[in-house]
Amino acid sequence: MKTALTIAGSDSGGGAGIQADIKTFSALGVFGMSAITAITSQNTVEVRSVQLIDVNIINDQVAAVLEDIGADAVKIGMLATPDIIQTVAQCLKKYKPKHIVLDPVMISKGGHRLLEEDTMQELKSTLIPLASLVTPNIPEAEVLANMPIHNEPDMYEACRVIKKLGAQAVLIKGGHLQGNPNDLYYEGQTFQLFRGERIETKNVHGTGCTLSAAIAALLAKGKEMPTAIDEAKDYITNAIANSLNIGQGYGPTHHFYHLYECVT
Ligand SMILES: Nc1ncnc2c1ncn2[C@@H]1O[C@H](COP(=O)(O)OP(=O)(O)O)[C@@H](O)[C@H]1O
Ligand SMILES: Cc1ncc(COP(=O)(O)O)c(N)n1
């Protein structure tokens, strides 16, 4: 049984954060473990409050897991402050997990900031250089590349800029652009466009978390990066197509559509 550790925030609404990650790991046959960085009081409409976890507790959660069980891949989500980023980076340097997928979570779909203002520089200088893959959405890529992204050609330029921050590879997700949600992958030599068909739905809460968790799970299972991304793209597309119409706002993707198909 392969294992994956998510280091991210808790989403009480179950659609994003460590809840989405653990459900996705399980649906892809990987044993999921979690180190919680923040507790968010959240649903499909809003983030009502956030409590950050003490950095010593974050460190202990990661150490307890990696010293006993280890992890075939690590997925990183919401890290709200420079102290939390530094703590997680120290853990990654100490335990050296083979695969690190960094989802640079900044703002929730509902518009709530999940990364404090002064944290961007820390993310760029401390964490991105440790990542096997960084997976920004369009707004996050604009911030990391410090340029507007209006179309696919802009995505190519932004990939080049973000790659220079030191990650082994970059995947800019195209969901926020008009047109088809195509994601652009760049590892420093060549580009690969992973094409998608837009599914007309508002239920896209946690799509980025689910995609990056799926990539981490597939890397844990030994897939090469492009294959992991390709299969994770299929997974998220099906999860959105089977998303749940719950709550008044952005419903969650369906994390168990694999199992759903098996049991129905
Ligand atoms: N309406 C949609 N139909 C199909 N795929 C989508 C849709 N919206 C987003 N995606 C895909 O879901 C994944 C998450 O992308 P995105 O929503 O941009 O990230 P985030 O949740 O971080 O904002 C990407 O693979 C993207 O192409
Ligand atoms: C704890 C947590 N982590 C990540 C997200 C991003 O998910 P989304 O972009 O779908 O709102 C979130 N809303 N909450």
Rounded to a whole number, what is the distance in angstroms from the first to the last CA of the chain?
A: 25
Q: What residue numbers bound the domain in which 64 lies?
A: 3-259
Structural domain contains residue 219: yes
Q: How far is the CA of 206 from the centre of ligand 2 (A)?
A: 5
Residue from 185, 207, 209 to probe ligand 1 pocket by mutation (most atoms less than 8 Å from CB) = 207
Q: Which atom of ligand 1 is nearest to the CA of 135?
A: 22
Closest-CA residue, ligand 2 atom 6, reads 108
Strands 100-102 and 73-76: parallel
pLDDT reported for residue 261: 47
Distances (CA, A) of 165 to 144, 224, 256: 9, 22, 35
For residue 181 and ligand 2, the question of a CB distance below 6 A is answered with: no
We report the CATH number of the domain holding residue 140 as: 3.40.1190.20
Structural domain contains residue 36: yes
User: Six-digit token pair at 181?
Assistant: 């949600």
Structural domain contains residue 264: no
Q: Is 41 helix (H, G, I), strand (E, B) or coil?
A: strand
Q: Which atom of ligand 2 is nearest to the CA of 11?
A: 1
Structural domain contains residue 226: yes
Note the pTM of the prediction, 2 decimals: 0.96
Q: Which residue has the tokens 């990183």?
A: 76
Please name the residues in contact with 136: beta carbons below 8 A apart, sequence gap of 6 or more.
104, 143, 144, 162, 170, 172, 173
Closest-CA residue, ligand 2 atom 3, reads 17
With vertex at residue 186, the alpha carbon angle to CA 213 and CA 220, rounded to the nearest 5 degrees, is 30
Q: Is 217 helix (H, G, I), strand (E, B) or coil?
A: helix
Main-chain dihedrals φ then ψ at residue 3, nearest 5 degrees: -125, 155
Q: How far is the CA of 64 from the centre of ligand 1 (A)?
A: 33
Structural domain contains residue 22: yes
For residue 14 and ligand 2, the question of a CB distance below 6 A is answered with: no
Q: Position 165: which residue type?
A: L
In this structure, the number of other CB atoms found within 10 A of the CB of residue 169 comes to 21
Number of structural domains in the chain: 1
Structural domain contains residue 225: yes
Structural domain contains residue 149: yes
Structural domain contains residue 112: yes
For residue 254 and ligand 2, the question of a CB distance below 6 A is answered with: no
pLDDT less than 50: residues of the chain: 259-264
Q: Position 27: which residue type?
A: A
Q: Which helix (H) or strand (E) holds 51?
A: strand 47-52
Q: How far is the CA of 105 from the centre of ligand 2 (A)?
A: 7
As a whole number of angstroms, the distance between CA 258 and CA 30 comes to: 13
Q: Are 237 and 190 in contact (CB under 8 A)?
A: no
pLDDT reported for residue 260: 44
